[in-house]
Chains A and B, each alone.
Chain A
């Protein structure tokens, strides 16, 4: 995916920063809105070059819809994984079978890889140790399949179907 134009990247940064400002101040006072816009414009001018490469393309409706749908999906995966780890901790025999497995991802963009790594780490039972190109090295509390394909199927693929649309 090529880089978007400077204007598109700048506008995208300003929009995101302004949204953050709205959440921070939680007020629709015109003075707050004015200063929020001003500060977003200034901070955006300094930071847009390292913040984004896709620019406004990130605001495609399909991507936003998938991103919103991903939040409950991810939270559900997180709760289930936490319960699973709690079960392993409380079980008298401690049924663990730890190991480090390698997974492959189909994600291309850096941000996509970051969110996949964070999603894997935040679902207990799996921790991302390192990311190298399209290879993920993951510490798994209960290794069921140590082949690359098998591990990818149960670790990365559930998240990938969303993240692929959101970040490419």
Chain B
């Protein structure tokens, strides 16, 4: 699998965006989320957890236009490292004309 352009996803402003990535490897990889090259840590608008099915989840609450960008799930163990990426776009509320 060669390098491909990351997929794009759109969410509406004010909604939550849930990113889910399934990770395998042995020993258990250390997994990190990055946004625009910056490691993400949990905060009031950012939840990081592992779901019941073992997927790694990043939830960005109440998305704003400034949350757009490249989100990367990076995994590393003693045998190597890899990553998956997606591009997030935030759709601003549409102005309706009567």
Same assembly? no
A interface residues with partner B (beta carbon < 8 Å): none
B interface residues with partner A (beta carbon < 8 Å): none
